[in-house]
Amino acid sequence: MGRKIITTNRKAFHEYHIFDKYNAGMVLTGTEIKSVRKGAVNLKDSFVKIDDGEVFLYNCHISPYEQGNRYNHEEKRLRKLLLNKKEIDKLIGKIKKDGYSIIPLEIYLDKGWAKVEIALAKGKKLYDKRDDLAKKAQSRDIERAVKSKNY
């Protein structure tokens, strides 16, 4: 049993310059892990914050489990992430010194355990986003031209 990607944060690569990536475990309740395995997760507006040396995931939407009845979880509750102390200290240093943000990139299952890939990132300016879109369009045009000449 390997790595199964549940959801990705598609806007992250458009909105941010991604630098370092880290894998963190998630602390979940019983009905949350069932919803994650079902794929009912959304990372759209979520972000990561460090409070008192602990890492937390904010605004991650995990839909309630259908058969959960009264034991169901709150959809956007605060979720603790599990990282080594050295990794947390490194993240704190980068955030304070260089002004980075921490954003979640994807949630995946690894050997049955729910994990989050988080990244140190800096927000892109509008002109950076335009440059990226222009480069993508240019490469697509080149691929189309090469493909049409081959046939």
pLDDT digits over 29-87, tens only? 888 888 888 888 988 889 999 998 899 999 998 888 877 777 787 778 899 999 999 99
pLDDT digits over 122-151, tens only? 888 877 788 888 888 999 999 888 888 765
Q: Would the CA dihedral through 63, 40, 81, 48 be positive or negative?
A: negative
CA distances from 50 to 56, 69, 87, 108 (A): 6, 32, 12, 21
CA 15 remoteness from chain centre: 13
Q: Counting beta carbons within 10 angstroms of the beta carbon of residue 59, is it exposed (0 to 12), middle (13 to 18) or buried (19 or more)?
A: middle
Q: What is the pLDDT of residue 55?
A: 93
Write down all domains in the chain, each with its CATH number in brackets.
3-123 (2.40.280.10)
pLDDT digits over 74-96, tens only? 778 899 999 999 999 999 988 88
The whole model's pTM is what? 0.80
